[in-house]
Structure 1
Amino acid sequence: MLRPPLLLPLALAACTPAPNHLGNPLLLPVSALTTGAQNAAYNARRAEVKAVLAGTGPAVLHDANAQARLWRVAPVPVAERKDVLRDIADLPDPGSAEWIEAATVTVMVRL
């Protein structure tokens, strides 16, 4: 068993600025907090996008008001919006739960 005085040098040796797969172990708590906050923000936006797509259904492909609601919730770059709508139009079984989930993913990957 390692004695406590030996643990400190080993822990400090792990705090190298060189690239490694874990990063600085002293920053892991901060990384955990920021990752949690980022995940919460992503999940909230994803839920909003899914709600808009569930509410509008396939009408989002043709209705300008439905598209405007979608773009307010999911600010996809203007240059990519036609591609997003084309990809959504190519999805099978419009309006189904699977379609809503796939359309949500299609929008979210463009953000």
Structure 2
Amino acid sequence: MLSLIFASLIGFVVLGIYWSFRPSRLPPGPRGIPFLGNALDIPLKGLFLKIEDWKRTHGDTFSLNAAGQNILVLASAKAAAHVLDKMSGPTSARPRFTMVRIVLLER
């Protein structure tokens, strides 16, 4: 019984470390902790101050991971204009809501 608990714990740690690595297509950003990512680093008040701090460290464009959700931060007007103007094709698509499609359209 103890070995099963220990093996499960080791498995969760390995999965957490595996999931903490960000996909290579995203720009670098602050490192997070396994499973939660940067969720505990994101303040509820004064978010703009924290973004300015990260901007000084990581540049105008960086990424965060909040509990498995990747977030791309564009911390300057120049970076936002570049993404909206030069990369409008891949960034203008709407998200796909699979469950909404299944519930509403496939009756």
Question: TM over 0.5: same fold?
Answer: no
Q: Greater CA radius of gyration, 1 or 2?
A: 1
**Greater fraction of residues in helix:** 1
**Greater fraction of residues in strand:** 2
